[in-house]
């Protein structure tokens, strides 16, 4: 999808999009179209149920008095209520309405009374929203009919301050590229994406200036990552740990500000549950149990793409959890890199074992300001929060507050869940230092308590994204399938707090 920005004019031909505010109040672009139609636009609106409310649209084919093929009028609602997210949603709806209408279309963006956003910002956010909505994972569909495929390939946005709009969108486009990267990785089947190939996908970030290091099985053994290796031992696919480094600060910056911030992801490229095998129904969804690692890779692409002024570490632990004659068994005891021992009660509680070792590794090697890990960790978080929020667990109030705000600002919402000594006791066991599950109750919390034992005093947050990594329905800027949830959230966290 190609986006361009042009002078503030009403195109004479093709497909054009104009806006109307709540109460059927026309924008200046819509008024210009209505004049060309000799009042036809106003009459069409009066004859319909369209009132300019948010989410509404009206299509007019071959508008009388013009050479246009089609006009789309989109409802803007009340201009005072328009913020970044609302405008991005409008962009997504524009794309959805026109995706099969033709090869190109033009959007006329006007200054709006009482609107907090300037026309250039409105234009950039419309393009951003449309770019997010235009995502489609169809590379394996070989017999789809041409008429069933989207045809819209270019959107030109006419607005005052087109040069500024182009500049603003250039940054948004890098973030969108990171979201698309994550969605692609999450959508790929497990016979295509497994530890070795996912590591190779991460290595492509070197083109953007990211330093990428891939640790193989021999190195992981030398480091003592017994928890991670135990998960992988049932598969013919050997594990990998990938370290990605983006140094966006000048070397002259010293001290705490130069300390990196770290993002870590669970990368179980397919999760059968191991010996504690999952039911067959729905197991195909376990291809996206590497969603946390996909977010970290996409985030690093976004940050490097827009040349973030911060030092950032991304670490992902990549394994495949399979049952075999060599698979880890319930009751096995493994030794983590930290030296702490873990009794494996359930081999389907494997993601926390992977994260335990990479959290400790990152803490010890990089001494980060803070660590945020992402994981499709528990089904219990879906029971708790549904698919509206991801679960947030943290040992630091300041970091939690920043994350929650970034979530609100990007509509990737987080809900903070409790931690505490009573929950921590639930993972004690007489056989080892801890066990990997705490019982039926508070499953998401005890999983977080497990992870907390591997961070010491480093500020840390755990995002349980099991419910939000995959969507079964379309949303204005998120088509069904892989969502890329977390890329925009964490990019905003960095931009608002660690680049000033």
Q: Are 44 and 58 in contact (CB under 8 A)?
A: yes
Q: Which two tokens stand for residue 204?
A: 């492509």
Single out the residue of 50, 112, 56 nearest to residue 80, CA to CA: 112
In which residue are the tokens 């977390």 written? 486
Q: Where are the beta strands (DSSP E) in 294-431?
A: 311-321, 333-335, 341-343, 371-375, 390-394, 414-416
319-354 burial string, b = 16+ CB within 10 Å, else e?
Answer: bbbbbeeebbeeebebbbbbebbbbbbebbbbbbbb
Task: List, in order, residues 6 or more apart from 39 with CB less than 8 Å away.
Answer: none
Single out the residue of 97, 84, 100 nearest to residue 18, CA to CA: 97
Q: Are 385 and 415 in contact (CB under 8 A)?
A: yes
DSSP-derived secondary structure letter, 275: T
At 123 the three-state DSSP class reads helix
DSSP-derived secondary structure letter, 143: S
In total, the chain counts a number of residues equal to: 500
Q: Which residues are catalytic?
A: 278, 352
What's the chain's Rg over C-alpha atoms?
25
In which residue are the tokens 């793409």 written? 305
Cα dist from 128 to 164, 179, 370, whole Å: 14, 11, 30
For 145-278, where are the alpha helices, taking DSSP H only? 162-187, 195-203, 217-223, 226-232
Q: Are 378 and 447 in contact (CB under 8 A)?
A: yes
Alpha-carbon 23 to chain mean position: 35
Cα dist from 283 to 271, 278, 306, 394, 465, whole Å: 8, 7, 37, 30, 18
How far apart are alpha carbons 388 and 375 in whole angstroms? 16
């Amino acid at each position: 999808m190609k986006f361009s920005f042009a002078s503030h004019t009403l195109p004479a031909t093709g497909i054009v999009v104009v806006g109307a505010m709540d109460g059927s109040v026309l924008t200046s672009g819509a008024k210009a179209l209505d004049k060309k139609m000799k009042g036809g636009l106003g009459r069409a609106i009066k004859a319909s149920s369209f009132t300019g409310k948010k989410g509404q649209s009206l299509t007019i084919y071959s508008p009388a008095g013009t050479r246009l093929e089609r006009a789309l009028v989109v409802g803007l609602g009340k201009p005072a209520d328009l913020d970044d997210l609302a405008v991005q949603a409008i962009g997504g709806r524009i794309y959805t309405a026109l995706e099969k209408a033709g090869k190109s279309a033009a959007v006329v963006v006007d200054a709006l009374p009482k609107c907090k956003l300037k026309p250039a910002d409105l234009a950039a956010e419309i393009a951003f929203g449309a770019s997010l909505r235009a995502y489609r994972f169809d590379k394996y569909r070989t017999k789809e009919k041409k008429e069933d495929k989207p045809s819209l390939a270019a959107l030109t946005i006419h607005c005052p301050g087109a040069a500024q709009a182009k500049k603003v969108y250039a940054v948004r486009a890098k973030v969108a590229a990171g979201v698309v990267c994550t969605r692609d990785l999450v959508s790929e089947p497990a016979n295509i994406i497994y530890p070795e190939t996912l590591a190779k996908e991460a290595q492509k970030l070197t083109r953007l200036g990211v330093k990428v290091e891939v640790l193989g099985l021999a190195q992981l053994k030398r480091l003592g990552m017994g928890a991670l290796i135990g998960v992988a031992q049932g598969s013919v696919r050997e594990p990998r740990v990938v370290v990605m480094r983006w140094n966006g600060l000048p070397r002259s910056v010293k001290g705490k500000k130069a300390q990196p911030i770290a993002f870590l992801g669970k990368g179980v490229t397919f999760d059968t549950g191991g010996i504690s095998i999952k039911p067959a129904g729905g197991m195909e969804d376990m291809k996206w149990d590497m969603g946390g690692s996909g977010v970290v890779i996409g985030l690093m692409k976004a940050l490097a793409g827009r040349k973030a002024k911060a030092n950032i570490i991304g670490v992902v632990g990549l394994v495949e959890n399979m049952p075999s004659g060599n698979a880890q068994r319930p009751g096995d005891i493994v030794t983590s890199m930290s030296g702490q021992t873990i009794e494996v009660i359930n081999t389907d509680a494997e993601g926390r074992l992977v994260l335990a070792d990479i959290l400790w590794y990152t803490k010890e090697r990089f001494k980060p300001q803070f660590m945020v890990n992402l994981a499709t960790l528990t089904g219990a978080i879906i029971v708790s929060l549904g698919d509206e929020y991801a679960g947030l667990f943290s040992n630091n109030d300041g970091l939690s507050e920043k994350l929650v705000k970034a979530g609100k600002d990007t509509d990737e919402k987080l809900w903070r869940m409790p931690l505490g000594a009573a929950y921590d006791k639930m993972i004690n066991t007489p056989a080892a230092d801890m066990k990997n599950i705490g019982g039926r109750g508070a499953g998401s919390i005890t999983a977080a308590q497990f992870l907390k034992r591997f961070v010491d005093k480093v500020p840390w947050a755990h995002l349980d994204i099991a419910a939000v990594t995959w969507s079964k329905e379309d949303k204005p800027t998120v088509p069904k399938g892989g969502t890329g949830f977390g890329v925009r959230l964490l990019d905003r966290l960095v931009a608002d707090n660690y680049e000033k």
